[in-house]
Structure 1
Amino acid sequence: MASFLALLPRSLTTFLYAVAALLRFYGNIDTTPISKIPLTILQWSFITFILGTAALLANLGLEWNAGNRSRNREIEERNRADQERQRAVSRARIQNRFFLLQTRHQLTPSPETRTALADFLSFLQEYGE
């Protein structure tokens, strides 16, 4: 349904310009008023031309709005991707800092570190082969 509504202003513009051209072409033949409204064929041609121009301007507004929406959507997607990248970088930094602090803590000479290293060495000797 939305795609049909998008085509409507273009089709209406084309139709109204075609009617205006047709009335203009036959306007020289008969300039008597049509029906009870006192307008000549050339005046009807001018009215359809004005209506066609209004439909063209409406179509231009719709296309402009659709273009702005798609551009804004692309910008938002880029911003989201940048934010995700920044979050990943900050997470990696935090993990690296944690790893460094953990390694420094484990390498400090203390009785707990010595016993943990001794247990690890005995584990390697027992199951390493």
Structure 2
Amino acid sequence: MTKTIIKPAQSAPAVGPYNHAVRVGDLLFCAGQIPLDPATGNLVAPDIKSQTERVLENVKAILDDQRLTFANVVKSTVFLTNLADFTGMNEVYARYFTGDFPARSTVQVAALPRGASVEIEVVAHF
């Protein structure tokens, strides 16, 4: 199978040696996105709702680049630095994923890059 590297121009800059997404066959594997503003490269406001919205807008930019939507997402993984933020994250998440939700895992982690409170990665199907 062919592996295609995806580097959307409108995405926030990567914070390490990785690509924003990789397409293999009919699957798009999106790297975990943190709440960086694509225009400035800076972390957005510290509250979980603002951070989750920015993360999902960053995911949306990758999906849009490939002419996909959140309806194409079959799996997501949410990383939170504090599970007390679960409810606030879910409120925003539910605005982006509607109808048939993808499979999802949510885990608490000790820390995330750049001091982010949330990171989300997705797998989408073409």
Aligning the two structures, in what range does the TM-score lie when normalised by the shorter sequence?
Answer: under 0.3
Normalized against structure 2, the TM-score is what?
0.22
Larger RCO: Structure 1 or Structure 2 (Cα < 8 Å, ≥ 6 residues apart)? 2
Normalized against structure 1, the TM-score is what?
0.22
- Higher Cα radius of gyration: 1
